[in-house]
Amino acid sequence: MHNDEKIAEKCIDSVMEVIKNVKGAELLILDDGSTDQTPFILEKMKQKYRSLLLLNHKKQKGYGVAVQSGTYFAIREGFDYCLYLEPKPAILPREITSFVETIPLGYDCVKASRYMTKSKISGPPAYKIALSAIINSLVSFSFRIGIKDCTNVIRMIRLKKLRGLKFKENDTSIIFEELYYLKKRQSTFKEIPYSVTERKDSLNYNHIYPKNILNLITYSFKSLFIL
């Protein structure tokens, strides 16, 4: 989260309502240097929920560093899987349970996909949807892991596949770096349909920014040489 005072409480309540039925599940919030009331709200919510864990960056460091901090923490604490979510006012039960239901299937990486029959996209303008679809088609062809929506940040990963890695990317490029290492470690992949609604006030990490294109090309090219 970053300056999410308007939705923090509702978001946490909606997640907790679901994971209370999932054995061993806990919610980890990484506050990435919020300057509004978000830190105070999170501390208040921690008193409400025992299974709420908090990490804080004193200054905003970006999505990639936030992912690194959360991932390394989850590995140290001995969690088996990590489901990465974006903060939004209400996280629907199905958005979590659809991932949890894949755990018995044994996949190492489960990605949310905007490009499956049952997927829905609302909010972004048509040109952004089209551009994202084109980019993902090219990336999917390069990675060849059976995933159509490689750039989506909503995913669940078996943490033993990330153990010992030292990520370099500090922004959304970590998504590509992550896929590269997962493929290199012979991981298994699955994607599930997902409904995406763009928040006007969010950082929206599902976007592909020009500064990330070079990294995207680099990791896509490197993945071609993984047998």
Q: Does residue 200 sit within a domain?
A: yes
Q: What is the pLDDT of residue 196?
A: 64
pTM score, whole prediction: 0.89
Number of domains present in the structure of the chain = 1
**Which range is least confidently modeled, 16-20, 100-104, 106-110, 213-217?**
213-217
Q: What pLDDT, on a 0 to 100 scale, did the predictor assign at position 123?
A: 63
Whether 121 has a pLDDT exceeding 70, the answer reads no
Q: What is the residue range of 71's domain?
A: 8-223
pLDDT at residue 190 in the model: 97
Helices (H), 57-204: 63-76, 93-100, 126-143, 174-184
Please give the structure tokens belonging to residue 121: 């996209």
Confidence class for position 136, pLDDT limits 50, 70, 90: confident
Residue 2 in domain: no
Query: Residue 196 falls within a domain, yes or no?
Result: yes
Largest CA distance in the chain: 49
115 vs 97, more confident: 97
Question: Could you tell me where the beta strands, DSSP code E, fall in the chain?
Answer: 27-32, 52-57, 81-84, 109-113, 120-122, 155-158, 189-193, 195-197
Average pLDDT, the chain: 89
Residue 163 lies in a domain: yes
C-alpha 132: how far from chain center: 17
Give residue-wise pLDDT tens across range 2-57.
Answer: 999 999 999 999 999 999 999 999 999 999 999 999 999 999 999 999 999 999 99
